[in-house]
């Protein structure tokens, strides 16, 4: 660039190069989870974990499935390799899902949300633990283990390949003993693949919810 053009650009306030360029100010979009989710702090010996707690009555209907509908677990038990599954009441099962900071599953991957659901006498209980910062992980795991104590069977969707190995690793890194190796584990993904392999284009959880249960997730 010749000097005459450079002088003209400078006279117009245009700066060449990066020495005089100020970095753009970053606007913080972080919003505390307490302002988004209706919940409370659950106290543990390792600190507080933020918990959202919801209850759905027995007459609630999720998609085309009423919660009052009773389920025969005998075929599911045979498929999952637990022939005694049908003998257990529904309130012996706990359902688990996670949302994570990545899909690699390595030591740098956190479960920033752990969702748990189980049947009670008067309906269905849903609890979600939210990791507000990494320092709260031990409190979240302690609260998770506290809830899991009375249950012997965990039900997941792709949990054998992802959720449970991830949570086992997080327990190890926090010097906790994971409760999952001692639990029966029913992973519904493999069963869904077998049943709907030739009938649905996808067996993802969202697709199963939409195509089989007539549930549309809200954004």
Domains in the chain and their CATH numbers? Answer: 32-211 (3.30.420)
pLDDT tier at 43, thresholds 50, 70, 90: very high
Cα separation of 53 and 206, whole Å? 23
Would the pLDDT of 23 be above 70? no
| 3-class secondary structure, 59 | coil
Name the 3-class secondary structure at 166. helix
pLDDT, position 83: 80
Q: Which two tokens stand for residue 62?
A: 């999720």
Prediction pTM value? 0.79
Per residue in 51-92, pLDDT (tens digit) is 999 999 988 988 888 888 877 777 777 877 788 877 888 888
- pLDDT band at 21; cut points 50, 70, 90: low
Cα–Cα distance for residue pair 145/85, rounded to 1 Å = 22
Q: What is the mean pLDDT of residues 140-155?
A: 95
pLDDT at 51: 96
Query: Rounded to an integer, what is the distance from CA 24 to the centroid of its chain?
Result: 34
């Amino acid at each position: 660039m010749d000097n005459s053009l450079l002088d003209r650009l400078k006279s117009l306030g245009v700066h060449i190069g990066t020495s005089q360029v100020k970095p753009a100010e970053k606007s913080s979009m972080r919003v505390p989870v307490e302002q988004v989710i209706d919940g409370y702090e659950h106290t543990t010996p390792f600190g507080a974990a933020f918990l959202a707690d919801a209850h759905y009555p027995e007459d609630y209907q999720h998609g085309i499935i009423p919660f009052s509908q009773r389920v025969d677990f005998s075929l599911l038990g045979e498929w999952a390799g637990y022939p005694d599954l049908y003998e257990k009441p529904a309130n012996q099962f706990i359902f688990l899902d996670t949302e994570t900071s990545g899909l690699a599953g390595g030591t740098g991957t956190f479960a920033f949300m752990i969702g748990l659901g189980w049947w009670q006498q008067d309906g269905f209980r849903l609890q979600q633990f939210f990791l507000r910062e990494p320092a709260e992980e031990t409190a979240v795991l302690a609260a998770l283990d506290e809830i899991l104590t009375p249950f012997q069977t965990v039900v997941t969707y792709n949990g054998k390949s992802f959720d449970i190995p991830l949570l086992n690793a997080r327990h190890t890194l926090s010097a906790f003993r994971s409760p999952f190796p001692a639990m029966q584990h029913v992973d519904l993904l493999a069963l869904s693949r077998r049943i709907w392999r030739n009938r649905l284009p996808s067996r993802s959880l969202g697709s199963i919810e939409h195509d089989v249960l007539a549930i549309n997730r809200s954004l």
